[in-house]
Chains A and B, each alone.
Chain A
């Protein structure tokens, strides 16, 4: 072993002593030969005879020198270096070939790197904290509850923290969007509530000042805040004086105590925290309904550092064993018996949290996997193109290769050279690909960002991305390099040396047809995939959601952080609505508690007194609206009446129900006049609510779900607690940007403290389609790239075949063949490749598209229309690509063609 290392080291040093070694060897051999010759002379030979005899006895001097040279250093590296230099020279001689190959590869490798970078950033990267692999997140299972959940109440957290003995440290945090503006347009900051242990457990250091500790997180604490490094740079220019100053969060002053170190963005992958405040200070914002005390307020997530010596299995088992006491101690007293029973049987367990947590993973995990497959296919097609290019190059270099082989270069040596050439091209492609990927990922992340969710991912290069890119560059080089290398070194020497035209000895053309057909097949798979996603997206966009999203502005206003008393809320909203109605350009204004597809839902158990008795409907969606809401959203009122000014607080409570609710609760009856009751938080039924109208169904939460039973209440009849937050719907043809100033001024004339958020309904709907848009856009783009590459491939093969058969065509034309028959001859080649490619492509698609099922809306993965369109597009473009060379074939001048012979 040691000896082997010593030999390797000696050889490695030999790499740098080549000249010295050669010189010494020459000298040594020379003196040996002369000593031998001296001996022969002394035995009676002449000097000349003696020298000759000496050489004979020594053996082939050159061979031995060669053998020693090879042994003296790492011959492999030396010849590799020589090959590389030669390949570079070749590339400089034909820059067009090199540029085309590198560009094609850069596109393929770049696309793969871009998607992989996203997967890495979202799924694989460890959070940049101390020993992330020791971190575990606490989740829990609900009896018959499906997916595990991870948000818990403060009571659960405090009990868990007090009783657990398997984490060396454990911390909780909750996310919050803070508003930094004192009033008017909202200025959002990504906030995080943290328990006192949070920063210490993660081992995050302060950049300036200090971070939140246990001392800051005590009942009745004052408001303190820690800024993230980025936020501090952006808002305070990195001034140390920021520490000690005050920051208003939702209108409440918080003292800045420090800034966290750069590079720490929190545990939520996909977002980044900007302001952190201790859990205890939520009470400053919560008013009379503190979440610290709310036993039904699920806002905290828990992560802990596992104790040394505890296995993950033991951790989960122990948390499970602790669960009964913890849940019992945090039982919400206002839940009904069933609810409490369910609550008591919830069980904790732990999952690894080294890569942080992310809501994005669920949404984008699958789409990213699909995109990864798509770009892999694009790379395959790109490989095929470059392989075809290499084959063409090799044909051009055939005579040179033949000469080198005749001079004694082994076939293996030549293959090695050709592969080195391929590696160089691939490496250049990878470098350019990394640049393309950087640009591409930044753009991709931007498309993931919506108004409600700013996506931030750490996209800096890490070893995984670099390893991935180098890996695919290597595989790519082998893919496109091996076949041409073997093919082009397998040729009858004499024919090639005689300089017979490439066509005669070229046996690569069947191979090229196969490559072109394979490209067509693969690009058809991508076209079909793209078609499915595009059509699925179009269906969603064109779907009638039950409301008209155009020309509706949404203004969300919250009164929670104002100085208003809660019994003034409804009157204040009424006043604002009046001012908005008076604005020029506003046709109508309504107000509601929820807006369509805003994300989040308000639902409850509803009892309906139908003619057939009382029916209970779990998960009935609720909303509260004013008169005019349905008219503005253009949701037709099917029967009964809209709300009116008489439906105010204190009057008989009324409701309008949607069609689905009417059919479910009052089958075959007229729902108008019937009574509903909504379940209260203590499990009792609420006051009677009379149904006064029925409206058409409209999507509530998600365009993809079926219509849900919905009950609309009157805003004026809500409790004060339910009225802190309202949205105004303004029907106006003016763009939001124009209206914004006037709206802010109108609201400010009522109160300057009201924070406002602006959307258009169309944007709000669009933002729910990010995933579909991403898939449609990218698969469409890559489908087009694949088609382009395949067509370049097809065009290349046909042009090549036409050039090869130029003489034949010349003769045919000279003998009186019509151009049309020549055209038919070439086009039949095109047909053959297209047909073969399409058949294989269809079979491949049928076998794979099933995987897309879950991501499609309103169409089957085997959708025939999509498939036919894709085939049609491919066939038309393919025939066009084939027509150009075919047309050229008909124009062959017989005289010119024959002169080549």
Chain B
């Protein structure tokens, strides 16, 4: 049976994938996995397959599009790109995330009173 990942993790991954596509332009699944690995400086090790679950979720919501193409080393690959709706969603999510992480950060830095 597959373990159900937490909603938070799924949401975070979706956000990272969306941001990557916005920043890098059209990219295939392998490329996205590489980019996340690189940016996280090996801190975040993920099963690369889960990227595809994220891509399917985003595609179903209409936030990304895909088209078949050829990779730099001449392999057939599906390239994903962010849609206009995806850009809007990303802006909203990024803002939410900053507010949220700010709150969490402040709470974690709280001193015990007394």
Contacts and interface: CB of A to CB of B under 8 A. Distances in A.
Contacts of A58: 47-49
A64 interface: yes
B48 A68 contact: no
B56 A68 contact: yes
Contact of B73 (A32, A35, A61): A35
B30 A59 contact: no
A11 B60 contact: yes
B4 to A, nearest CB: 10
A36 B57 CA distance: 23
A11 B2 CA distance: 20
A72 interface: yes
Contact of A29 (B33, B52, B59): B52
B61 interface: yes
B30 A32 contact: yes
A31 B71 contact: yes
A410 B77 CA distance: 36
Contacts of A34: 75
Given A27-B76, A31-B76, A57 B47 contact: yes
B29 interface: yes
A58 B71 CA distance: 18
Contacts of A59: 47-50
Interface in A1-57: 3, 6-7, 10-11, 24-25, 27-29, 31-32, 34-36, 38, 57
27 contacts: A6-B60, A6-B61, A6-B62, A25-B52, A28-B29, A29-B52, A31-B30, A31-B76, A31-B77, A32-B28, A32-B30, A32-B77, A35-B71, A35-B73, A36-B30, A57-B48, A58-B48, A59-B47, A59-B48, A59-B50, A60-B47, A61-B49, A64-B50, A64-B52, A68-B53, A71-B53, A72-B56
Contact of A3 (B47, B62, B78): B62
Contact of B78 (A11, A28, A60, A71): A28
B73 A410 contact: no
Given A31-B30, A32-B29, A66-B2, A3 B61 contact: yes
B1 interface: yes
Nearest to A65: B49
Contacts of A11: 60
A67 interface: yes
A63 interface: yes
Summarize A's interface: helix, strand, loop or mixed.
helix
B52 A28 contact: yes
A32 B56 contact: no
Contacts of A29: 49, 52
Nearest to B77: A31
Contacts of B76: 27, 31
Contacts of B28: 31-32
Nearest to B89: A3
Q: Which 4 A-B pairs have the closest CB atoms?
A: A59-B47, A64-B49, A59-B49, A10-B60
Nearest to B31: A35
A26 to B, nearest CB: 12
Interface of A: 3, 6-7, 10-11, 24-25, 27-29, 31-32, 34-36, 38, 57-61, 63-64, 66-68, 71-72, 408, 410
Interface of B: 1-2, 28-30, 33, 47-50, 52-53, 56-57, 59-62, 71, 73, 75-78
A129 to B, nearest CB: 49
Nearest to A25: B52
Contacts of B77: 28, 31-32, 35
A605 to B, nearest CB: 85
Given A58-B47, A67-B53, A408-B1, 12 more contacts: A6-B61, A7-B60, A31-B77, A32-B33, A36-B48, A58-B48, A59-B50, A60-B47, A60-B49, A61-B49, A68-B52, A71-B53
Contacts of B78: 24, 28
Contacts of A410: 1
Contacts, number: 72
B103 to A, nearest CB: 25
Nearest to B70: A31
Contacts of A6: 60-62
Nearest to A56: B47
Contacts of B48: 32, 36, 57-59
Contacts of B1: 408, 410
A66 B29 CA distance: 18
B70 to A, nearest CB: 10
Nearest to B37: A57
B37 to A, nearest CB: 9
Contacts of A68: 52-53, 56
A752 to B, nearest CB: 87
A408 B1 CA distance: 8
A38 B49 contact: no
A67 B56 CA distance: 10
A495 to B, nearest CB: 24
Contacts of A66: 2
A18 B19 CA distance: 30
Contacts of A61: 49
A71 B57 contact: yes
Contacts of A67: 2, 53
Contacts of B56: 68, 71-72
B58 to A, nearest CB: 11
B64 to A, nearest CB: 12
B66 to A, nearest CB: 9
A57 B42 CA distance: 13
Contacts of B62: 3, 6
A672 to B, nearest CB: 100
A444 to B, nearest CB: 53
B79 to A, nearest CB: 11
B57 A35 contact: no
Contacts of B57: 71
Contacts of A60: 47, 49
A35 B56 CA distance: 20
Contact of B61 (A7, A32, A38, A63): A7
Q: Most chain-A CB neighbours within 10 Å: which of B2, B30, B62, B71? A: B30
Nearest to A60: B49
Contacts of A72: 56
A3 B58 CA distance: 10
A63 B33 CA distance: 18
A32 B56 CA distance: 16
A38 B73 contact: yes
A66 B2 CA distance: 9
Q: Most chain-A CB neighbours within 10 Å: which of B29, B52, B62? A: B52
B23 to A, nearest CB: 20
Contacts of B30: 31-32, 35-36
A161 to B, nearest CB: 64
A66 B49 CA distance: 11
A32 B61 CA distance: 24
Nearest to A69: B56
A34 B48 CA distance: 13
